[in-house]
Amino acid sequence: MPLVTNLLLRHSVVMCLLLHSLVLMAFCFHQDATSCSKSCYCTGDEFTGTTVRCSHQGLTEIPRDFPNDTRRIYLDFNLFTRVPANAFVGLPRLTELDLSHNEINQLEPGAFRGLSPSLHSLSLSSNKLVKLNPEAFEGLWASANLTNNPWHCDCNLQKALPHVDLEPASLAGIVCHTTDPEDSRVQGRAFLLAPDIDLCAVTKRTTDVAMLVVMFCWFTMVISYLVYYVRANQEDARRHLEYLKSLPSRQGKSEESSTISTVV
C-alpha cells in the first residue's frame, strides 16, 4: 500500500510540474501574441523587419499596437471609415501601408504624421474618399494609390492640389466621379492632369461680376456725394458772394472811423 501512495504522490508531483510548465508556456506565447497587434499576425525577423497582416478582420478602428520595428502593414478589406490624426506614430521604419478596400471617407489632418521619410507606398484605393484634404498628407512624400474612390471634382479640389505633398504621379488616381460645375470633359477623367480644364473659371466669373457691381455702387456713391458737395458749395459761394458785395460799404465805414481815430 505505501508503495502505491508513494507512486501516486510522485505522479501528482510530475503532473503538477507539467501543468505548471504548460501554464508558463501559454503565458509566454500569450506575451508573444501581444507583441504583435491583436487580431493581426506578424511575420519577419530582424533583417526583413516585421510585416503585420490584419486583412479581412472586420475591424472598425485602426489598431494602435503595432510593433515599433514594423516595415509593412496590411489593413485592407476591413470596415474603417476614417483615419484619425497620428494613427501611425512611432513606426519609424514603416515603408508600406495598405488601407485599400475599406469604407474610409475621412482622413483627419495629420493622419499619416510621423511616417515621413520612410513610407514610400500608401494605398487608399477602393474607399469612399470624396474630398481631398491636403493636411492629411502633410509632409508625406510617398506614392499613394488613390484610385477607385468617388472623388468630387470642383474648384476646391483644384485649389487644394498645389498643397498636396504626395508624389505627383499619385494624382493620376483622382478620377472624377461627380463634378461641379457639370462638365462632361471632367467626368471619369483624372482632371488634375488635364491642363485645359479649369473648374475655378465659373467661380472666377461670378466673383468678377460681384466686383463690378460693388465698384459700380461705389462709383455711384462717390458721384452723388460730389454732386451734393458742389450744390452745397454753390449755395455757400452764393452767400459768400452776397457777403462780399455788402462788404465795400462796411469797409468804407471802418476806414472813416480809422481816419477819425487818427485825427483824434
Ligand X SMILES: *[C@@H]1O[C@H](CO)[C@@H](O)[C@H](O)[C@H]1NC(C)=O
* Site residues for ligand X per CB under 6 A: 68-69, 92-93, 100, 123, 125-126, 145, 147
Q: Which three cell numbers stand for residue 220?
A: 455711384
Q: Supply the minimum distance, in Å, between the C-beta of residue 90 and ligand X.
A: 7
Cβ closest to ligand X, residue 93 vs residue 152 = 93
| CA torsion angle 242 244 250 252 (round to 10) | -130
143 contacts 125 by C-beta, under 8 angstroms: no
Question: CB-wise, 123 or 179, nearer to ligand X?
Answer: 123
Cβ 123 to ligand X shortest distance, Å: 6
**Shortest Cβ 69–ligand X spacing (Å):** 5
Residue pointed to by grid coordinates 493622419: 111
Helix (H, G, I), strand (E, B) or coil at 122: strand
Using only C-alpha atoms, the chain has a radius of gyration, in whole angstroms, of 41
Residue closer to ligand X, measured from CB, 92 or 181: 92
| Nearest to 131, CA basis, from 110, 112, 107, 111 | 107
In the numeric block, the cell 506575451 is attached to 31
Name the nearest CA neighbour of 177 among 188, 167, 168, 185: 188
- What distance in Å separates the CA atoms of residue 243 and residue 76, rounded to the nearest whole number? 94
CB closer to ligand X out of 91 and 199: 91
Find the shortest distance in angstroms from Cβ 67 to ligand X: 8
How many Å apart are CA 171 and CA 164, to the nearest integer? 9
Closer of 125 and 179 to ligand X (Cβ): 125
**Burial call 175-192: b when 16+ CB within 10 Å, e when fewer:** bbeebbeebeebeebbbb
> Closer CB to ligand X, residue 49 or residue 84?
49
Cβ 30 to ligand X shortest distance, Å:
19
User: Looking at this protein, which amino acid is placed at residue 89?
Assistant: V
Closer to ligand X by CB, 76 or 165: give it.
Answer: 76
Closest separation between CB of residue 139 and ligand X, Å?
Answer: 19
CA-based nearest residue to 63, from 43, 90, 44: 90
Q: How far is the CB of 173 from ligand X (least distance, A)?
A: 6
